[in-house]
Amino acid sequence: MPSPLRLGGREFGLYEPVIMAIVNRTPDSFYDQGATFRDEPALARVEQAVADGAEIIDIGGVKAGPGEEVTAEEEARRTVGFVAEVRRRFPDVIISVDTWRHEVGEAVCEAGADLLNDAWGGVDPKLAEVAARYKVGLVCTHAGGAQPRTRPHRIAYEDVMADILKVTVGLAERAAELGVPRESILIDPGHDFGKNTRHSLEATRRLGEMTETGWPVLVSLSNKDFVGETLDKPVKERVLGTLATTAVSAWLGAQVYRVHEVAETRQVLDMVATIAGHRAPAVARRGLA
């Protein structure tokens, strides 16, 4: 049996869905175009996300896509002080930082981060060493060998899920061997990262193969290109497609959901958990009066 997920001193049951709210400390993020680049809007976003049901706040200092170069020093400037302030204002929230750089990982762990979200598939192997040294969690993601901030071009897999499993489980086992607590390691199929839309759809359809490994699965689906291309919708019109994909992922056993729309995601996850028999209805009055 897999162990319960433990992050930041909190433990989550095997069927307990967990929401990770996105807070971008970038001026050029694809979804919010810098709405939370400044401190006060970002802190307000954290407060609202926690109120809406987020257990994890994921702070990122570099947008995933191509753009202006952001050095490690600049990434740290955008994230480290903010991590410390979130820790001060919200002592019980789990703080994650979206970074692939070990230098940034070290600095944010010193500031109070509980989880390092490596979206680029271990491109900097020292990041796992940092997680081990600080005994924080680590997200092990499949990125198809892509370099950070690059888009896939005519990428092909003989079997995309086989490749996802090989990479993510391999990264997770290495992290555990280094000393990262096993119960604090997650695997992520990396939707859109090193993948075209058909790859991401297949990864979703076969997500059960990831959950069967026993490692808790994180999915980052929110308003991504594979949703947009599937429905032919621009970024701001992808919420319904994202929520549909979230419901499917929940049914197939994913546990952590990295999202922009926290309240809507919480309703979807609660509904799926209740249909699956893992959660009781909030009220049960029908037919009793």
Catalytic residues: 224, 258
- Rounded to an integer, what distance in angstroms lies between the CA atom of residue 181 and that of residue 267? 31
CA distances from 153 to 133, 193, 236 (A): 36, 11, 24
DSSP secondary structure code for residue 83 in this structure: H
Residue 101 tokens, joined? 């750089």
Helix (H) or strand (E) run with residue 169 in it: helix 160-178
DSSP secondary structure code for residue 63 in this structure: -
Give 27-56 as a DSSP string: SS-TTTTTTTSSHHHHHHHHHHHHHHT-SE
Cα separation of the two ends of the chain: 42
User: Which residue type occupies 187?
Assistant: I
- Rounded to an integer, what distance in angstroms lies between the CA atom of residue 209 and that of residue 194? 19
**What torsion do the CA atoms of 56, 146, 151, 260 make, to the nearest 10 degrees?**
-10
Three-state SS at 265: helix
User: Is the CB of residue 57 less than 8 Å from the CB of residue 23?
Assistant: yes
Residue 68 tokens, joined? 């202006």
Residue 62 tokens, joined? 């570099």
Give 239-252 as a DSSP string: HHHHHHHHHHHHHT
